[in-house]
Protein backbone atom coordinates (compact mmCIF):
# COMPACT_ATOMS: atom_id res chain seq x y z
CA UNK A 1 0.00 0.00 0.00
CA UNK A 2 2.90 2.32 0.70
CA UNK A 3 4.11 1.94 -2.88
CA UNK A 4 0.70 1.90 -4.56
CA UNK A 5 -0.63 4.79 -2.48
CA UNK A 6 2.25 7.07 -3.43
CA UNK A 7 1.90 6.19 -7.12
CA UNK A 8 -1.86 6.82 -7.09
CA UNK A 9 -1.27 10.20 -5.48
CA UNK A 10 0.98 11.08 -8.43
CA UNK A 11 -2.01 10.39 -10.69
CA UNK A 12 -4.17 12.88 -8.78
CA UNK A 13 -6.00 10.58 -6.37
CA UNK A 14 -6.37 11.67 -2.73
CA UNK A 15 -5.09 8.86 -0.52
CA UNK A 16 -5.29 8.37 3.25
CA UNK A 17 -3.26 5.44 4.61
CA UNK A 18 -3.32 3.52 7.89
CA UNK A 19 -1.38 2.37 9.71
CA UNK A 20 2.35 2.68 10.36
CA UNK A 21 2.03 1.47 13.96
CA UNK A 22 3.94 -1.76 14.68
CA UNK A 23 1.85 -2.89 17.66
CA UNK A 24 -0.93 -5.09 16.26
CA UNK A 25 -3.72 -3.78 18.48
CA UNK A 26 -2.76 -0.12 17.97
CA UNK A 27 -2.46 -0.80 14.24
CA UNK A 28 -5.98 -2.23 14.10
CA UNK A 29 -7.39 0.63 16.18
CA UNK A 30 -5.74 3.15 13.86
CA UNK A 31 -7.27 1.41 10.85
CA UNK A 32 -10.71 1.39 12.45
CA UNK A 33 -10.45 5.04 13.49
CA UNK A 34 -9.26 6.15 10.06
CA UNK A 35 -12.09 4.29 8.34
CA UNK A 36 -14.63 5.85 10.72
CA UNK A 37 -13.20 9.35 10.35
CA UNK A 38 -13.06 9.17 6.55
CA UNK A 39 -16.33 7.30 5.97
CA UNK A 40 -18.26 10.27 4.61
CA UNK A 41 -15.54 11.50 2.23
CA UNK A 42 -14.21 8.21 0.89
CA UNK A 43 -15.13 6.67 -2.46
CA UNK A 44 -13.32 3.37 -2.08
CA UNK A 45 -11.25 1.58 0.57
CA UNK A 46 -8.24 -0.47 -0.58
CA UNK A 47 -7.36 -3.25 1.88
CA UNK A 48 -4.01 -5.06 1.77
CA UNK A 49 -5.09 -8.61 2.58
CA UNK A 50 -2.74 -11.32 3.85
CA UNK A 51 -3.18 -14.92 4.93
CA UNK A 52 -1.72 -14.84 8.45
CA UNK A 53 -2.98 -12.83 11.46
CA UNK A 54 -3.33 -9.77 9.23
CA UNK A 55 -6.26 -11.60 7.61
CA UNK A 56 -8.34 -10.41 10.56
CA UNK A 57 -7.47 -6.76 9.82
CA UNK A 58 -9.09 -7.26 6.43
CA UNK A 59 -12.11 -8.90 8.03
CA UNK A 60 -12.72 -6.08 10.52
CA UNK A 61 -12.24 -3.25 8.02
CA UNK A 62 -14.29 -4.93 5.30
CA UNK A 63 -17.21 -5.42 7.69
CA UNK A 64 -17.06 -1.78 8.75
CA UNK A 65 -17.13 -0.86 5.07
CA UNK A 66 -20.21 -3.00 4.58
CA UNK A 67 -21.89 -1.38 7.61
CA UNK A 68 -21.16 2.14 6.35
CA UNK A 69 -21.92 1.17 2.71
CA UNK A 70 -18.41 1.92 1.47
CA UNK A 71 -17.01 0.28 -1.63
CA UNK A 72 -13.93 -1.72 -0.71
CA UNK A 73 -11.32 -3.65 -2.68
CA UNK A 74 -9.19 -6.33 -1.02
CA UNK A 75 -5.73 -6.60 -2.60
CA UNK A 76 -4.79 -10.26 -2.24
CA UNK A 77 -1.19 -10.59 -1.08
CA UNK A 78 -1.07 -13.74 1.02
CA UNK A 79 0.30 -16.80 -0.77
CA UNK A 80 -1.59 -18.99 1.70
CA UNK A 81 -4.94 -17.26 1.14
CA UNK A 82 -6.34 -20.29 -0.74
CA UNK A 83 -6.10 -22.29 2.48
CA UNK A 84 -7.98 -19.50 4.29
CA UNK A 85 -10.84 -19.95 1.83
CA UNK A 86 -11.01 -23.57 2.97
CA UNK A 87 -10.31 -23.13 6.68
CA UNK A 88 -12.42 -20.00 7.22
CA UNK A 89 -15.15 -20.12 4.56
CA UNK A 90 -17.62 -17.90 6.42
CA UNK A 91 -15.12 -15.15 7.21
CA UNK A 92 -13.71 -15.38 3.69
CA UNK A 93 -17.17 -15.07 2.16
CA UNK A 94 -17.93 -12.06 4.37
CA UNK A 95 -14.79 -10.31 3.06
CA UNK A 96 -14.51 -11.33 -0.58
CA UNK A 97 -18.06 -11.93 -1.81
CA UNK A 98 -19.25 -8.43 -0.94
CA UNK A 99 -16.18 -6.56 -2.20
CA UNK A 100 -16.54 -4.18 -5.13
CA UNK A 101 -13.91 -6.48 -6.62
CA UNK A 102 -10.90 -8.44 -5.41
CA UNK A 103 -7.53 -7.57 -6.94
CA UNK A 104 -5.19 -10.53 -7.40
CA UNK A 105 -1.56 -9.55 -8.12
CA UNK A 106 -0.95 -13.04 -9.50
CA UNK A 107 -2.84 -15.36 -11.80
CA UNK A 108 -2.14 -18.01 -9.14
CA UNK A 109 -4.48 -16.32 -6.65
CA UNK A 110 -7.00 -15.36 -9.33
CA UNK A 111 -7.23 -19.00 -10.37
CA UNK A 112 -7.50 -20.20 -6.76
CA UNK A 113 -10.28 -17.75 -5.89
CA UNK A 114 -12.23 -18.55 -9.05
CA UNK A 115 -11.93 -22.26 -8.25
CA UNK A 116 -13.59 -21.46 -4.89
CA UNK A 117 -16.52 -19.81 -6.64
CA UNK A 118 -15.53 -16.13 -6.51
CA UNK A 119 -16.35 -14.35 -9.76
CA UNK A 120 -15.41 -10.78 -8.75
CA UNK A 121 -11.62 -11.21 -9.07
CA UNK A 122 -9.41 -9.25 -11.44
CA UNK A 123 -5.68 -9.53 -12.05
CA UNK A 124 -3.55 -6.42 -11.55
CA UNK A 125 0.18 -7.18 -11.10
CA UNK A 126 2.19 -5.91 -8.17
CA UNK A 127 3.82 -2.65 -9.10
CA UNK A 128 7.35 -1.28 -8.93
CA UNK A 129 8.89 1.95 -10.15
CA UNK A 130 11.52 0.50 -12.48
CA UNK A 131 13.55 3.73 -12.24
CA UNK A 132 14.43 2.83 -8.64
CA UNK A 133 16.13 -0.40 -9.69
CA UNK A 134 19.39 0.16 -11.58
CA UNK A 135 20.33 -2.91 -13.62
CA UNK A 136 23.88 -3.90 -12.74
CA UNK A 137 26.38 -6.41 -14.13
CA UNK A 138 28.03 -8.39 -11.33
CA UNK A 139 31.02 -10.70 -11.05
CA UNK A 140 30.09 -14.35 -10.45
CA UNK A 141 33.28 -15.91 -9.13
CA UNK A 142 31.88 -17.06 -5.78
CA UNK A 143 28.24 -17.15 -4.56
CA UNK A 144 27.27 -14.13 -2.49
CA UNK A 145 23.68 -14.79 -1.46
CA UNK A 146 21.08 -12.16 -0.64
CA UNK A 147 17.83 -13.01 1.18
CA UNK A 148 15.22 -10.27 1.74
CA UNK A 149 12.09 -11.11 3.72
CA UNK A 150 10.54 -10.92 7.16
CA UNK A 151 11.86 -13.51 9.59
CA UNK A 152 8.79 -15.71 9.95
CA UNK A 153 8.20 -19.47 9.87
CA UNK A 154 6.12 -19.02 6.71
CA UNK A 155 9.22 -17.89 4.80
CA UNK A 156 11.50 -20.66 6.13
CA UNK A 157 14.64 -18.53 6.64
CA UNK A 158 16.53 -21.47 8.20
CA UNK A 159 16.82 -22.94 4.71
CA UNK A 160 19.01 -20.02 3.61
CA UNK A 161 21.55 -20.81 6.35
CA UNK A 162 21.57 -24.49 5.42
CA UNK A 163 22.11 -23.57 1.76
CA UNK A 164 25.10 -21.44 2.78
CA UNK A 165 26.50 -24.39 4.74
CA UNK A 166 25.94 -26.70 1.78
CA UNK A 167 27.83 -24.40 -0.58
CA UNK A 168 30.72 -23.99 1.85
CA UNK A 169 30.91 -27.75 2.38
CA UNK A 170 31.53 -28.04 -1.37
CA UNK A 171 34.55 -25.75 -1.07
CA UNK A 172 32.89 -22.55 -2.31
CA UNK A 173 33.64 -19.26 -0.55
CA UNK A 174 29.98 -18.42 -0.26
CA UNK A 175 28.53 -15.62 1.86
CA UNK A 176 24.98 -14.82 2.98
CA UNK A 177 23.24 -11.59 3.94
CA UNK A 178 19.72 -11.74 5.37
CA UNK A 179 17.65 -8.56 5.35
CA UNK A 180 14.38 -8.13 7.20
CA UNK A 181 12.60 -7.60 10.52
CA UNK A 182 11.77 -10.35 13.01
CA UNK A 183 8.05 -11.15 12.91
CA UNK A 184 7.55 -14.16 15.17
CA UNK A 185 10.82 -14.85 16.99
CA UNK A 186 12.28 -16.82 14.09
CA UNK A 187 15.33 -14.54 13.87
CA UNK A 188 16.83 -15.96 17.07
CA UNK A 189 16.26 -19.49 15.76
CA UNK A 190 18.13 -18.63 12.56
CA UNK A 191 20.98 -17.02 14.49
CA UNK A 192 21.30 -20.11 16.69
CA UNK A 193 21.33 -22.34 13.62
CA UNK A 194 24.13 -20.29 12.04
CA UNK A 195 26.15 -20.67 15.23
CA UNK A 196 25.47 -24.40 15.41
CA UNK A 197 26.54 -24.90 11.77
CA UNK A 198 29.59 -22.66 12.29
CA UNK A 199 28.76 -20.32 9.39
CA UNK A 200 28.86 -16.53 9.39
CA UNK A 201 25.67 -14.77 8.30
CA UNK A 202 25.22 -11.01 8.05
CA UNK A 203 21.92 -9.92 9.62
CA UNK A 204 20.98 -6.30 8.84
CA UNK A 205 17.55 -6.06 10.43
CA UNK A 206 14.87 -4.09 8.63
CA UNK A 207 16.18 -1.79 5.88
CA UNK A 208 14.39 0.76 3.75
CA UNK A 209 13.97 -0.08 0.09
CA UNK A 210 16.72 2.33 -0.96
CA UNK A 211 19.07 0.87 1.68
CA UNK A 212 18.72 -2.72 0.58
CA UNK A 213 18.93 -1.76 -3.09
CA UNK A 214 22.32 -0.15 -2.35
CA UNK A 215 23.32 -3.23 -0.37
CA UNK A 216 22.38 -5.53 -3.25
CA UNK A 217 25.35 -4.30 -5.29
CA UNK A 218 27.60 -6.46 -3.10
CA UNK A 219 25.70 -9.70 -3.86
CA UNK A 220 25.26 -11.79 -6.98
CA UNK A 221 22.37 -14.20 -6.43
CA UNK A 222 18.99 -13.80 -4.73
CA UNK A 223 17.46 -16.73 -2.90
CA UNK A 224 13.83 -17.15 -1.86
CA UNK A 225 13.21 -20.00 0.59
CA UNK A 226 9.53 -19.63 1.41
CA UNK A 227 7.04 -22.46 1.93
CA UNK A 228 4.04 -20.32 0.95
CA UNK A 229 4.01 -17.31 -1.34
CA UNK A 230 2.08 -15.21 -3.82
CA UNK A 231 4.07 -12.91 -6.12
CA UNK A 232 6.66 -11.39 -3.77
CA UNK A 233 7.75 -7.88 -4.59
CA UNK A 234 11.26 -8.64 -3.31
CA UNK A 235 11.71 -11.28 -6.02
CA UNK A 236 10.48 -8.90 -8.74
CA UNK A 237 12.86 -6.25 -7.40
CA UNK A 238 15.77 -8.70 -7.50
CA UNK A 239 14.94 -9.55 -11.11
CA UNK A 240 14.92 -5.84 -11.95
CA UNK A 241 18.31 -5.31 -10.30
CA UNK A 242 20.04 -8.01 -12.33
CA UNK A 243 20.23 -10.58 -9.53
CA UNK A 244 19.55 -14.13 -10.76
CA UNK A 245 16.82 -15.67 -8.60
CA UNK A 246 16.75 -19.18 -7.15
CA UNK A 247 13.43 -19.82 -5.41
CA UNK A 248 11.31 -22.58 -3.99
CA UNK A 249 8.59 -23.70 -6.37
CA UNK A 250 5.55 -22.81 -4.24
CA UNK A 251 2.36 -20.78 -4.52
CA UNK A 252 2.58 -18.07 -7.14
CA UNK A 253 6.31 -18.45 -7.84
CA UNK A 254 5.90 -20.75 -10.87
CA UNK A 255 3.44 -18.17 -12.23
CA UNK A 256 6.13 -15.49 -11.86
CA UNK A 257 9.32 -17.39 -12.76
CA UNK A 258 9.70 -19.50 -15.87
CA UNK A 259 12.14 -22.16 -14.67
CA UNK A 260 15.34 -22.16 -16.67
CA UNK A 261 14.34 -19.02 -18.57
CA UNK A 262 14.25 -16.11 -16.11
CA UNK A 263 15.05 -17.90 -12.84
CA UNK A 264 15.52 -21.32 -11.27
CA UNK A 265 12.93 -23.13 -9.15
CA UNK A 266 13.52 -25.94 -6.68
CA UNK A 267 11.18 -27.99 -4.45
CA UNK A 268 10.31 -26.55 -1.05
CA UNK A 269 12.63 -27.60 1.81
CA UNK A 270 15.11 -29.18 -0.62
CA UNK A 271 18.40 -27.63 0.52
CA UNK A 272 20.52 -29.83 -1.75
CA UNK A 273 18.40 -28.88 -4.77
CA UNK A 274 18.91 -25.17 -4.09
CA UNK A 275 22.65 -25.70 -3.60
CA UNK A 276 22.85 -27.49 -6.95
CA UNK A 277 20.80 -24.78 -8.66
CA UNK A 278 23.16 -22.08 -7.38
CA UNK A 279 26.15 -24.14 -8.53
CA UNK A 280 24.54 -24.43 -11.94
CA UNK A 281 24.25 -20.65 -12.19
CA UNK A 282 27.94 -20.21 -11.48
CA UNK A 283 29.09 -23.02 -13.76
CA UNK A 284 26.92 -22.15 -16.79
CA UNK A 285 27.66 -18.54 -17.74
CA UNK A 286 25.44 -18.47 -20.88
CA UNK A 287 22.46 -19.73 -18.85
CA UNK A 288 23.15 -17.22 -16.08
CA UNK A 289 23.37 -14.27 -18.48
CA UNK A 290 20.21 -15.33 -20.28
CA UNK A 291 18.31 -15.63 -16.98
CA UNK A 292 19.52 -12.22 -15.78
CA UNK A 293 18.55 -10.40 -18.99
CA UNK A 294 15.17 -12.10 -19.41
CA UNK A 295 14.33 -11.52 -15.75
CA UNK A 296 14.96 -7.80 -16.15
CA UNK A 297 12.67 -7.69 -19.18
CA UNK A 298 9.94 -9.46 -17.20
CA UNK A 299 10.37 -7.09 -14.25
CA UNK A 300 9.77 -4.13 -16.57
CA UNK A 301 6.21 -5.40 -17.11
CA UNK A 302 5.53 -4.59 -13.45
CA UNK A 303 6.46 -0.92 -13.91
CA UNK A 304 3.85 1.66 -12.96
CA UNK A 305 3.76 3.02 -16.50
CA UNK A 306 2.32 -0.33 -17.58
CA UNK A 307 0.15 -1.15 -14.57
CA UNK A 308 -1.44 2.21 -13.76
CA UNK A 309 -4.13 2.06 -16.45
CA UNK A 310 -5.46 -1.17 -14.92
CA UNK A 311 -5.93 0.64 -11.60
CA UNK A 312 -7.50 3.63 -13.30
CA UNK A 313 -10.00 1.37 -15.01
CA UNK A 314 -11.06 -0.10 -11.64
CA UNK A 315 -11.16 3.18 -9.72
**What would the pLDDT profile of 293-311 be if each residue is shown by its tens digit?**
999 999 999 999 989 999 9
Mean pLDDT of the 248-269 span: 95
> Does residue 138 sit in the same domain as residue 285?
yes
Share of the chain residues as helix, strand and coil, in percent rounded to the nearest 5? 50, 15, 35
> Does residue 206 sit in the same domain as residue 64?
no
Residue 135, pLDDT score: 96
* Residue 315, in any domain of the structure: no
* Residue 309, in any domain of the structure: no
Final residue before a domain boundary, out of 91, 123, 155: 123
> Does residue 83 sit in the same domain as residue 160?
no
- Residue 167 maps to which CATH number? 3.40.50.2000
Q: Helix, strand, or coil here: 128?
A: strand
Ramachandran sector of residue 239 (left: φ over 0; alpha: ψ -120 to 50; beta: rest): alpha
Residues 58, 74 contacting (CB under 8 angstroms): yes
* pLDDT digits 0-9 by tens, 123-164: 999 899 899 999 999 999 999 999 999 999 989 999 999 999
Residue 3's pLDDT band, with cuts at 50, 70 and 90, is confident
> Does residue 288 sit in the same domain as residue 141?
yes
Residue 78, pLDDT score: 78
Q: Give the rounded percent of residues in the chain with a pLDDT score beyond 70.
A: 100
Residues 173, 140 contacting (CB under 8 angstroms): no
Residue 79, pLDDT score: 79
> Does residue 296 sit in the same domain as residue 190?
yes
Residue 231, pLDDT score: 86
* pLDDT digits 0-9 by tens, 79-116: 789 999 999 999 999 999 999 999 999 899 999 999 99
> Does residue 241 sit in the same domain as residue 140?
yes
Instruction: Judge residue 69's burial from the number of C-beta atoms within 10 Å of its C-beta, 0-12 exposed, 13-18 middle, 19 or more buried.
Output: exposed
- Residue 96 maps to which CATH number? 3.40.50
Q: At what angle do helices 89-96 and 55-67 cross, to 10 degrees?
A: 50
> Does residue 94 sit in the same domain as residue 159?
no
CA distance to 25, 147, 203, 268, per residue, from 15 (Å) = 23, 32, 34, 39
> Does residue 81 sit in the same domain as residue 157?
no
Number of H helices, E strands in the chain: 14, 10
Residue 1, pLDDT score: 84
* pLDDT digits 0-9 by tens, 8-34: 999 999 999 999 898 999 999 999 999
Question: 306 or 274: whose pLDDT is higher?
Answer: 274
Q: CA-to-CA distance for 246 and 254, rounded, in angstroms?
A: 12
Residues 269, 159 contacting (CB under 8 angstroms): yes
* Residue 305, in any domain of the structure: no
Domains: count for the chain: 2
> Does residue 202 sit in the same domain as residue 287?
yes
> Does residue 150 sit in the same domain as residue 102?
no
Average pLDDT of the residues of the chain:
95
* pLDDT digits 0-9 by tens, 169-206: 999 999 999 999 998 899 999 999 999 999 999 999 99
* Residue 143, in any domain of the structure: yes
* Residue 311, in any domain of the structure: no
Residue 230, pLDDT score: 83
Residue 274, pLDDT score: 98
Indicate if the pLDDT at residue 228 is higher than 90. no
> Does residue 285 sit in the same domain as residue 137?
yes
* Residue 312, in any domain of the structure: no
Final residue before a domain boundary, out of 92, 123, 154: 123
Q: Give the rounded percent of residues in the chain with a pLDDT score beyond 90.
A: 88
Residue 71 belongs to domain spanning:
2-123
* Residue 254, in any domain of the structure: yes
> Does residue 52 sit in the same domain as residue 190?
no
Residue 51, pLDDT score: 87
* Residue 74, in any domain of the structure: yes
Final residue before a domain boundary, out of 71, 98, 123: 123
Residue 22, pLDDT score: 85
Residue 30, pLDDT score: 97
Residue 87, pLDDT score: 92
Q: How many CB atoms lie within 10 A of CB 182?
A: 18
Amino acid sequence: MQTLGALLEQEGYHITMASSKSNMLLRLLAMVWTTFKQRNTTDVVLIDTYSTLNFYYAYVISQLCRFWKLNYIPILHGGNLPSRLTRNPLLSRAIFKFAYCNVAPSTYLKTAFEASGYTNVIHIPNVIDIRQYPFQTRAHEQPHLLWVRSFAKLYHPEMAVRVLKGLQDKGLKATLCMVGPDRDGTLSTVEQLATALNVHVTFTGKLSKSEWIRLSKDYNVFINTTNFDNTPISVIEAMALGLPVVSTNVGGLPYLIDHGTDGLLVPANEVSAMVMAIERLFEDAPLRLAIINKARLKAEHFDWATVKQLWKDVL
